[in-house]
Amino acid sequence: MAFKDELLGHLRRFAPAPFLFVGAGISRRYLGSEGWEELLRRYAAEAGQPYEDYASSADQDLPRIASLIAADLHEPWWKDDRFEASRKYFEGQSGGSQWALKAEISKDLANALDQLPKRDTLVEELNRLRSAVVDGVITTNYDALLEHVFPDFEVFVGQDQMLFAQPQGIGEIYKIHGSIEAPNSLVLTAEDYSHFNERNAYLAAKLLTVFVEHPVIFIGYSISDENVFAVLRSIASILTKEKIQELQDRLIFIQWDEAAEEPKLSPIPFVADGYTIPMLGATVSDYDELFEVLGSLERRFPARVLRQLKERVYELVQTNDPKQKLFVQDLDADVDGSNVDVVLGVGAIDKQLEQSYKGLGRSDLAEDVLKDDRNFDALRVVTEVLPTISRNTHVPVFKYLREAGLLEDDGELRSEIVIDPRVSARVESFGDHFRIPSGYEKRAAAAINKAGDFAGLVANCDPRDVLIYAGALDRDKQDPAALRRFLLDHRRPESGDETFFRTQWYRGVCLYDWLQYSKRPKPARRRRPRSKRPG
C-alpha cells in the first residue's frame, strides 16, 4: 500500500484531528533558519570570543555555551554603538543578565518570514500545510512561521501561559520554548532549561490530554532530539505502563532524509528512562504527501470555530435556580450559515430569541457596515452583540457607537456614558486592527512608499497584499469610498490561502469602519454673500 493511502487510513481511525509537534527542521526547510550551533557561533563573535573557547569551557553543551555567550554579551549590548539599533528596537523592554542574547535572537528572527520561499515545490508544500486539518500545534521553535501558516489559531507562549491560561485543546499553537514576540520567554540557556525542567511535570500534565486523545505527528525533529525525549519522558513518568499502551498508534514520527526512498509507516522503538513508548515512524524526502493527507481529513467546522464552541458556545445563566436556563451563544465565526445544519435549543427560548440580538456575529456586522442596509438598532448592537465577541476578533464598532450617540466628534467615547469595558477596550486598542502582521513590515513599508495612497496600492499590489498593507497608510492617504468598493469586490481569496485572506479582509472592514465613522465630519462653512457697497 502506498504511504499516502496507508497514513490516511490510519488517521481516519481516530475521531479527533491530529496535533503537529513541530521542530527546528521545519524552520530550516521553509525559512532557511540557522541551526542552534550555527546561531551560537554567530553570537559568540558578537560577544568577542571564538566559539571554540565557549564550547570547550562548557564541554560542548549548547545551553551552557549559550549561558556563557549571554554573560559576555550583556555589557557591550547596553553600551556599544554597534547595538544602538537593537536598543532602540527594544526601547522600553529589558530583562535579566541574559536579555541581550535573547533580544538579538528575537530581533534577527523577527524578519524570518521574509525568507519564505516564493516559488518551487516548497511553496506547494506550504500551501498544502495551510489547508491541513489539524486540531493544534506544539512547537519548540521561536519564530512566527506557524502563526503565519495557521493565522486563526490562538497562541500560547511558554509554560506560564500553558499552565495558567485556559487552553481548549483545539485551534491552538503551544510555543513551549517561547517566542520572539517575548524575548524573555525563550528557553535558550542552561538556566532556562533548568527552570523549564523543574516545571516539566506540570506541562506534561497539560499536554497529556493532547497525547491520549489525538494522533500526534512529529515533524522537523530527529528521533534522538532531546526536546522530544524530554517531553515524552515527562509524559511517560505520569502514566502507568498499562496506560502508556493507550498511546499505541497515536504517536507518529516523520523524519526527513533527502535521499529517502518510498516511505513506509512502521513501528519504531522509543525508550525513555525504562519506559517503552509505542510509536510509528516513516522517513520521507519531502512533506508533500504528508500535508496532502492532512488536507484530506474531513471536518465539518474549522478548528477555530470548534475552539470557540468549546470555549464560548454554552453559557449557564447564573440565577437562583441554576436549572432555569441554558442557552447557546452566537458563533463568532466566518461560517456560511448554509453550512450549519444542526441547531440545539434547550428550553422555551423562542420569545427570547425573537427579541435578542445575540444571534448576530461579526459577519453580520461587517455586511451592515459595508452596505448600511440592515437597520440594526445601534445601541442594542453595542450592549448585546459586541460584548459577546471574542476580544481577539476583528469586528467593526465605530458605526454603532456613532449611531448610538456614544462618540464625541473626535472619535473619543463620551466621558459621561459608561459602556461595557469589553467594548471600550476595542476603541482604545483600535490600532491593533491596522498593525502589519509580523514578517510583513519591510514589504509593507516599501509598497506604501511606492504607492503613495490607497489608489496606488490597488494599482500596484494584488488584493491580498492591499488588505495587509492598507492599514499602514496615513489617514489623509486613505479613500474610504474606494476601500468600501474594494472590500465588497474581494470577499473571497483568489488563491488557496483562505483563512489568512479572510482575517485580512475583516481587518479591512475595521479600517473602513474607523475611517468612515470614528470622526464626525465637520460641516462645510457657508460663505456669506458680499454686500454691495452703495455707489
**Final residue belonging to a domain, choices 113, 145, 171:** 113
Q: Give yes or no: residues 426 and 478 share one domain.
A: yes
**Does the residue 416 lie in any domain?**
yes
Q: Which residues contact 450 (CB under 8 A, 6 or more apart)?
A: 456, 460
Q: Under a CB-based contact definition with an 8 Å cutoff, are residues 129 and 254 in contact?
A: no
Q: What is the DSSP string of 64-113?
A: HHHHHHHHHHHHHHHH-GGGHHHHHHTTT---STTHHHHHHHHHHHTTGG
- AA letter at 141: N
Cell numbers linked to 414 = 463620551
Determine which helix (DSSP H) or strand (DSSP E) holds 245, and give its type and residue range. Answer: none
What CA–CA distances, in Å, run from 18 to 64, 234, 245, 290, 329?
Answer: 35, 21, 18, 12, 27
Q: Give yes or no: residues 412 and 487 share one domain.
A: yes
Q: Give yes or no: residues 108 and 128 share one domain.
A: no
φ/ψ (deg, to 5) at 21 = -115, 105
**Final residue belonging to a domain, choices 49, 80, 113:** 113
Distance CA(30)–CA(260), nearest Å, equals: 19
Buried b (16+ CB within 10 A) or exposed e, 312-338: bbeeeeeeeeeeebebbebbbbbbeee
**Does the residue 341 lie in any domain?**
no
**Does the residue 278 lie in any domain?**
yes
Distance CA(477)–CA(449), nearest Å, equals: 11
Other C-beta atoms closer than 10 Å to the C-beta of 480 total 16
The whole domain housing 181 covers 3-32+115-296
What pLDDT score does 358 carry? 65
Q: Give yes or no: residues 253 and 242 share one domain.
A: yes
CA 284 to centroid of chain Cα atoms: 28
Distance CA(320)–CA(325), nearest Å, equals: 11
Q: Under a CB-based contact definition with an 8 Å cutoff, are residues 10 and 279 in contact?
A: no
Cell numbers linked to 239 = 502514566
Instruction: Look at residues 41, 61, 37 and name the one whose alpha carbon lies nearest to residue 51.
Output: 41
- AA letter at 107: K
Q: Which residues contact 411 (CB under 8 A, 6 or more apart)?
A: 398, 518, 519
**Does the residue 284 lie in any domain?**
yes
**Does the residue 328 lie in any domain?**
no
Instruction: Look at residues 369, 362, 363 and name the one whose alpha carbon lies nearest to residue 515.
Output: 369
SS3 290: helix
Determine which helix (DSSP H) or strand (DSSP E) holds 280, and give its type and residue range. Answer: strand 279-284
Other C-beta atoms closer than 10 Å to the C-beta of 354 total 7
Buried b (16+ CB within 10 A) or exposed e, 386-404: bebbeeebbbbbbbbbbbb
Q: Give yes or no: residues 105 and 249 share one domain.
A: no
SS3 279: strand
Other C-beta atoms closer than 10 Å to the C-beta of 256 total 18
The two beta strands, 172-175 and 154-157, are: parallel
- Whole-model pTM: value is 0.61
Q: Under a CB-based contact definition with an 8 Å cutoff, are residues 343 and 309 in contact?
A: no
Other C-beta atoms closer than 10 Å to the C-beta of 291 total 20
Q: Under a CB-based contact definition with an 8 Å cutoff, are residues 157 and 178 in contact?
A: yes
SS3 382: helix
What pLDDT score does 352 carry? 44
Other C-beta atoms closer than 10 Å to the C-beta of 501 total 20
Cell numbers linked to 65 = 555555551
**Does the residue 255 lie in any domain?**
yes
Distance CA(286)–CA(370), nearest Å, equals: 44
Q: Give yes or no: residues 440 and 507 share one domain.
A: yes
Q: Give yes or no: residues 139 and 234 share one domain.
A: yes
Q: Give yes or no: residues 99 and 122 share one domain.
A: no
Instruction: Look at residues 142, 191, 151 and name the one whose alpha carbon lies nearest to residue 498.
Output: 151
CA 28 to centroid of chain Cα atoms: 20
Other C-beta atoms closer than 10 Å to the C-beta of 425 total 11
**Does the residue 333 lie in any domain?**
no
**Final residue belonging to a domain, choices 296, 311, 337:** 296
**Does the residue 487 lie in any domain?**
yes
Q: Which residues contact 401 (CB under 8 A, 6 or more apart)?
A: 378, 382, 407, 413, 423, 427, 517
Cell numbers linked to 129 = 500545510
Q: List, as own/partner pairs, every contact residues 227-232 make where C-beta atoms lie below 8 angstroms and the sequence separation is at least 24, other chains included.
A: 227/23, 227/140, 227/177, 228/21, 228/23, 229/272, 230/197, 230/200, 231/21, 231/176, 231/200, 231/203, 231/204, 231/207, 232/270, 232/272, 232/277
Distance CA(250)–CA(213), nearest Å, equals: 8
Q: Give yes or no: residues 48 and 144 share one domain.
A: no
Longest CA pairwise span in the chain (Å): 113
Q: Kindly list the averaged pLDDT for each block of 10 residues, start to end, along the chain of length 535.
A: 88 90 95 90 92 95 95 94 91 88 93 87 92 94 94 88 75 93 93 87 82 92 85 79 76 93 87 78 94 85 63 40 41 43 43 57 90 88 88 88 90 82 86 77 90 93 90 91 92 63 89 91 50 39
CATH number of 289's domain: 3.40.50
- AA letter at 416: E
Torsion of CA 23, 134, 3, 24, to 10 degrees: -10
Q: Give yes or no: residues 23 and 53 share one domain.
A: no
Distance CA(514)–CA(394), nearest Å, equals: 12
Number of domains in the chain: 3
Instruction: Look at residues 64, 89, 95, 92 and name the one whose alpha carbon lies nearest to residue 183.
Output: 95
What pLDDT score does 442 carry? 87
Q: Give yes or no: residues 87 and 194 share one domain.
A: no
Q: Give yes or no: residues 154 and 268 share one domain.
A: yes
